[in-house]
Structure 1
Amino acid sequence: MSDDTRARIVDVATSLLREHGAAAVSTRRVAHGAGVQAPTIYRLFGDKDGLLDAVAEQVLATYVTEKASVIEAAAAADVDPLDDLRTGWRTQIDFGVGNPALFALLSAPERARTSPSARAALEVLQARVRRMAAAGLLRVSEPRAVDMIRAAGSGAVLTLLTSAPDARDPALADAMLDSVLAQILVAPPAGAAVSAGGALPAAVALRAQAPDLGALTDAERRLLADWLDRVIAAPEPAAAPAPAPAPTNSGGSGEGADTAT
């Protein structure tokens, strides 16, 4: 009975949060909607913050389960890793923009650090990025790619939410992702000119597959991973300076005059 009561309370609080925002999630309104007394909420959740934590955890857990099933299906069907990332990106943006109160709740730093569902959500993104790395698409480390994608996604949603609905740029989120991809991919989208970074993409790809190299012992896999991490973390060599222009002959028509254009 207690589990049913708890689920009913969380469902009512979730509906209030989605429809009216966090301010509407009062103990009185939730108790009335769930058909319980206020002390029941305090007994099960402690206070309003505890109730909001339960709401965030339930919503995020459901969402993450759906995302995890999508990426498992994509991996099984050998869907292009970049296409899979774009699909996940659009789903994330739509979820955040469509649920502003939940986005604010789920974006709280402390909740993001401690929530099991938040960690599971991060693991879904890490899995998508790992597929890209294993395919040799990355020219930065997996953690760097994950952090850049997360930062761009959160920033895009926040920017869209702080704009009036009729003033939102529908192309903003995809433009943000393209900007990130231009920095992390060996061959960025839309033909942008970015250096392949020498051996770095190969190191990133091998690092993604290192845990699964059955021909090596555990110790050898750890050693290989350590070597590859050092290669990936090393600063890229500075580009060679451009050659100085040849001196021009200011004497006019003499043989040493620079005629290049």
Structure 2
Amino acid sequence: MRLKKQKRHRKIVRFYTACFGFREPFKVLCDGTFIHHLVANHISPHDKAISNALGGSVRLFTTRCVAAELKSLGNSHSDSLKAAQNNFKIASCDHEKRKSAVACIMEIIGQGNSEHFFVATQDTDLRKNFQNIPGVPVIFGLRNTLFLEQPSSFQREFVKSVEEERLHMSNFEYKIFKKRVKERLGSDEVEELSNADERDQILEAQDLIKKGNARKRADVRDKVQFKRKKAKGPNPLSCKKKKKPKGPGPDIEKAETISEEGAKRSRSRNRKKPRSIRKLPAADDNDN
């Protein structure tokens, strides 16, 4: 279950970073109800718990009005007041007189959340109000766990409408485009095209200009289009390995030496004495 929650939170954070420009370290604006929830459920350290929920580094903020409201609640919220003073930075609010925590946070967020704050609150009415403001992610607690609220249908529709507007030209872009087409065509007919219905003619003229430029560059592209492949060396995996020359091994040399010695011995044994030596003993007997 914990893994599913992490995946869901990452998907929500990715939505706000891609569509509204949220970046790390994420700034989290906490009200008194959320700070009291952290202290009562012993969720500490606060920054580490919120960073685990968002999957990135965070900076915690609160306001002077929130701290004053906690102070006015007495001893029951004294620990929450100490946590707000020690562990949270003070976000600057423009109003001089003290306001309620809800009004103060609503004024800081405004209509577009230009400071890119994550709002952490336990107030259900405040959470409903932020669902109708684009680009305001809400964090709330349930016992000892923290959750990131899903983007509302209003916020998703707002993102789709912004994407559709980006696909079309604005009035300023249309004027610049009209000047460029006038310079390319060099005709007075472009000046008469002022109505929005006649923008299609300008787009057709732009297509003609692009086609003309494409024809001019066709010759250059044809020259570079086909390239001959250079001859490469043979595949080393398909080649046979070189055969090493087999030299006379130690066993062969021993056999050759043994055969040579045996031949010498056989020759020495079978060798006959000369005839002159055989006749000498007979001559000695005649003398006697």
TM-score > 0.5 by shorter chain: no
Query: Which structure has the larger Rg over C-alpha atoms?
Result: 2
Give the TM-score taking structure 2 as reference length. 0.19
Higher strand share: 2
Give the TM-score taking structure 1 as reference length. 0.20
Higher helix share: 1
